[in-house]
Amino acid sequence: MRRTIVAAVAAAALVGAGAGAAVTANSDDGWWHPMMADGQPRGDVGGHMGGFSGGHMGGVGAGHHVFAASEQEYLAEMVAHHEEAIDAARELSRSDRARMRDFGEQIIESQSAQVTQMRAWLAEWYPDEAVDVDYEPMMRDLSGLSGDRLDRTFLEDMVGHHMAAVMMSQHLLASRLVEHDEVAELADDIRDEQHAEIFRMRTWLRDWFDVYRMPW
């Protein structure tokens, strides 16, 4: 069953799961909410992840879990999730900020390698299972944006995008669904790598755009 994932739910669920790399709702600058490039709140906060179960955040402190039903499902969904991030990161080649261009290249390099590895595992371990998933984008189209609008929109959307990946990986690690040690190691890497990048992006949102508190 398909359910809407709200990025804030990812952080709330991590707290509930006791994740080692938790993103807490009680941070100094509060929750972060995607905004339109003109500064207006966007309405389509969530994205969809086929095969994962989640829900809308009904109020402050509400927590929901998003999970894969199997190791194969986690890999297939994470491939689609990574591919969206890679496509968005390519748009940063047009950024005016060297740090953003470098960040985009890092995301492309790291997540492309992970996609290649996950596709190889899917082909080797689950040759009879479907690889393509019914994935709906979580991020806005960046192709027509430039300058500050490009950087800010990317950062706002990618924070939530990363939160979903962190949560999915943490849930897999806490479940009994992992069948291969290699997948557990990858999920651990994805969780820790993207958790660190969330805080880097939040710092840039604060320093460059005076974005401090953005409640979901």
Greatest mean pLDDT range, 17-26, 36-45, 76-85: 76-85
- Beta bridge pairs of residue 41: 35
- At residue 158, the 3 state secondary structure works out as helix
- Find the mean pLDDT for residues 86-98: 98
- Find the mean pLDDT for residues 98-105: 98
Which residues 6+ apart lie within 8 Å of 164 measured at CB?
Answer: 5, 7, 10, 47, 49, 66, 81, 138
Q: Are 166 and 39 in contact (CB under 8 A)?
A: no
| pLDDT at position 7 over 60 | no
d(CA 203, CA 17): 25
How confident is the model at residue 20, as a pLDDT? 41
How confident is the model at residue 65, as a pLDDT? 40
- Find the mean pLDDT for residues 22-51: 38
Helix axes 181-209, 147-174, angle to 10 degrees: 150
> Any idea which of 19-23, 52-56, 109-113, 175-179 has the lowest mean pLDDT?
52-56
How confident is the model at residue 95, as a pLDDT? 98
Q: Tokens representing 183?
A: 């997948």
Cite the DSSP H helix spans in 26-178. Answer: 71-90, 98-125, 147-174
d(CA 156, CA 33): 7
Residue that wins the pLDDT comparison between 129 and 147:
147
Q: Are 85 and 112 in contact (CB under 8 A)?
A: no
How confident is the model at residue 194, as a pLDDT? 97
| pLDDT at position 75 over 50 | yes
d(CA 106, CA 89): 9
Q: How confident is the model at residue 16 (pLDDT cuts 50, 70, 90)?
A: very low
Dihedral of CA 16/17/18/22: which sign? negative
In Å, how far are 9, 126, 128, 151 from 119, measured between CA atoms?
28, 10, 13, 30
How confident is the model at residue 212, as a pLDDT? 79
Q: Are 19 and 170 in contact (CB under 8 A)?
A: yes
Greatest mean pLDDT range, 32-41, 60-69, 113-122, 204-213: 113-122
| pLDDT at position 41 over 90 | no
- Find the mean pLDDT for residues 195-200: 97
- Find the mean pLDDT for residues 55-79: 64
Q: What angle do CA 130, 120, 83 make, to 5 degrees?
A: 70
Q: Are 127 and 184 in contact (CB under 8 A)?
A: no
d(CA 77, CA 122): 11
- Structural domains in the chain, CATH included, are 4-209 (1.20.1260.10)
How confident is the model at residue 136, as a pLDDT? 86
* Mean pLDDT, the chain, whole residue set: 77
Residue 195 one-letter amino acid: H
- Find the mean pLDDT for residues 69-96: 97
Residue that wins the pLDDT comparison between 68 and 195:
195
